[in-house]
Chains A and B, each alone.
Chain A
Amino acid sequence: MTELLKANFWADVTFYRRSKLLLAFMLVFLLLTALQSLPPLFMNSGVQSFNSLQEIISDLNFFLLLLAGGMGLLIVSSHLRNRSLKMVFTKPCPPELWLLSAYLSAAATSLFLNLVVLGSEVLLSLLWHLPVRIGLVFVSAETFAVSLGLIAYLVVLATVMHPALAAIVAIVFNADLFYQFDVWTKAAIRSGNSSLALRFVERLFHGLYILLPMVYPFDKQTQNIHTSLRVMRGEWKYLLFSLGYTLALSAFCYCVSLFALKRKNHI
């Protein structure tokens, strides 16, 4: 079993390495980040440099999330569309194992990229004579945790629908949208309209908001860390909570993807 997992894992990593789409996406973001990091070189103010660093961190982490989603989407959709899974499932390699290796390889690649980005952030801090704050580690770890959920979510979408449709669903029907809907329905209920249908819709939106992974589940609690890059003693627990949340979400998504993958005709 370990041999099979290893073989699939390295094949998937090779796929990420050689995917021209992912590479082009990465190059564009690297170019943007490089351009963004130019102005602080000509600034003397530490505050301005810190603000620039914050902006770069925010952009890079957003980019990492997009890339994680892209990896989840492409690893499944490209194999399904190339019909290459028939070569895997006609060997003693069950879909459970292939799916697990797809998820793990995306997670490992995401972890690697997170570490690279963290390293770059530390390097920039040193270059701009800013204190290297522990918040950088926290933000990176949190981004990685969110990436895990995002990978799993896009894997589900890519299994059940066309990749273009999956990307649209992920971009449009994300947690933010349902959070807005949830807020509106809650406001309507508070203003006196407490019909059963509205309560049901509010629960539904709330459920979807919780379920969909494009969310920092504890963003209110960790907002300060993102702005100050400082972590108080009691705040590390939110990292564990985030990880727990995304792992539970990933487990759920894995089961759904597996069910869909097994129902498909791989011909």
Chain B
Amino acid sequence: MIVAEDVHVHFRRGFLRHKLRALNGLTLEVKDGDFFALVGQNGAGKSTAMYCFLGLLKPTSGKVEIMGQVPELGSSLYKDIAYLPEEPHYHLYLTVEEATRYYSSLSGKRVSNKAINDSLERLGLAQFKTLPLAKCSKGMKQKVGIAQCLIHEPKVLFLDEPTRGLDPLIVREFRETLREIHKRGATIVMNSHVLSEIEMLANRVAIIDRGKVVVQDELSNLLTLNQELYRIVFEGNGTVPEYLTAVERTGNLVRGLLPKARLSDFMEVVRTSGLLLLECSLKKTSLEESFFNLIGKETTTTEANRSNREVGVS
């Protein structure tokens, strides 16, 4: 569906035209029907990658293809593509209704007044129809972006930080809508800093760091169960067994990690001292932890390589 092979993007910045590497050999593949998330730090190259997929930015080198075609500005390829930008770069002189109608009509398909009104109603924009976008809040602009994105039921959706600036109610509804669209077979590519959101929605994830993909895998593979540790939560004021690690106390609530080998010892302590055990489950690695582990390792390796180079070690 979407293929990027060894994509490099270099920008020239400043008076002396310093070279800035935004993408540095990015390679990834999004399969048909994926809900694919791009994760990375600020400046890692997530948005740049998305711009390349959309044809808004020509790579310095490398290959980008969507549905077997190289994306060209305004080509017929975009009939089935929808894009929600990170920043609300819309036609600010248009009103909410005019903008929704305009963007919808650009898709080359007829849109009924009812479809536009329904869409605005659903996003809570009906009473702001006549308000110019220039006077709308960021969240409202984002809603207009969502409305124009979803009105045609596209086959491929590119979402750049889609829930930024939205109120919780709309976020929940938007997530539901995305799930529905995904169920119907649409491919979704999303950039987000909200890792919990990605855990909820995506089925595949690529972690990007310094312009290249560090890891690209099924989300389920990244959220592995740690078979060696239990996460435990109990109530108690006494001393904590010494084999518990990462202990946190909040009032008389204690959280910690228990090695699998000491489970029976701990249960004995619970039984004898009458502790109230609230939770005991195999520790699950969250996407956040995977992200920090991978990015941390990558950072450490890069820094080690750099210091090795600096002292002349190959």
Contacts and interface: CB of A to CB of B under 8 A. Distances in A.
Interface of A: 3-4, 7-8, 10-11, 14-15, 18-19, 79, 82-84, 86-98, 262, 265-267
B98 interface: yes
Chain B contact patch, size range: 35 or more
Given A3-B105, A86-B85, A89-B73, A14 B98 contact: yes
Given A90-B83, A93-B74, A18 B93 contact: yes
Given A91-B106, A92-B77, A92-B106, 6 more contacts: A88-B106, A91-B107, A92-B107, A95-B74, A265-B56, A265-B57
Most chain A C-beta atoms within 10 Å of own C-beta, residue among B79, B108, B132: B108
A92 B74 CA distance: 4
Contacts of A8: 106
B75 interface: yes
B310 to A, nearest CB: 35
A242 to B, nearest CB: 33
B128 interface: no
A83 to B, nearest CB: 4
A86 B52 CA distance: 12
Most chain A C-beta atoms within 10 Å of own C-beta, residue among B87, B94, B110, B158: B94
20 contacts: A10-B102, A11-B91, A14-B93, A18-B132, A82-B89, A86-B85, A87-B89, A87-B90, A87-B148, A89-B56, A90-B55, A90-B74, A91-B103, A91-B106, A92-B76, A93-B108, A94-B74, A265-B56, A265-B57, A267-B47
A145 to B, nearest CB: 29
A7 B148 CA distance: 14
Contacts of A11: 91, 94, 98, 102
B91 A84 contact: yes
A148 to B, nearest CB: 24
A82 B73 contact: no
Contacts of B83: 86-87, 90
Contacts of A94: 72-75
A60 to B, nearest CB: 26
B112 to A, nearest CB: 14
B309 to A, nearest CB: 33
A134 B106 CA distance: 43
B81 interface: yes
A4 to B, nearest CB: 6
Contacts of A87: 83, 85, 89-91, 103, 148
Contacts, number: 99
6 smallest A-B Cβ distances: which pairs? A94-B74, A91-B106, A7-B105, A89-B73, A83-B89, A90-B83
B54 interface: yes
Contacts of A79: 91
Nearest to A265: B57
B282 to A, nearest CB: 44
Interface in B51-80: 51, 54-58, 72-79
Contacts of B92: 82, 84
Interface of B: 47-48, 51, 54-58, 72-79, 81, 83, 85, 87, 89-94, 98, 102-103, 105-108, 110, 132, 148, 158
B106 A93 contact: yes
B247 to A, nearest CB: 47
Nearest to A266: B56
Given A4-B108, A14-B93, A19-B93, A90 B75 contact: no
Nearest to B92: A82
A31 to B, nearest CB: 24
Contact of A14 (B76, B89, B94, B148): B94
B73 A262 contact: yes
Contacts of B110: 3
Given A14-B94, A84-B90, A4 B106 contact: yes
Given A90-B54, A265-B57, A7 B93 contact: no
Nearest to A18: B93
A97 B91 contact: no
Given A18-B93, A82-B92, A84-B91, A92 B56 contact: no
A87 B92 CA distance: 12
A18 B91 CA distance: 12
Contacts of A92: 74-79, 106-108
A87 B256 CA distance: 49
Contacts of B79: 92
Most chain B C-beta atoms within 10 Å of own C-beta, residue among A83, A93, A262: A93
A265 B60 CA distance: 12
B89 A86 contact: yes
A262 B76 CA distance: 16
Contacts of A266: 56, 73
Contact of A265 (B47, B58, B94): B58
Nearest to B77: A92
A152 B93 CA distance: 23
A195 to B, nearest CB: 38
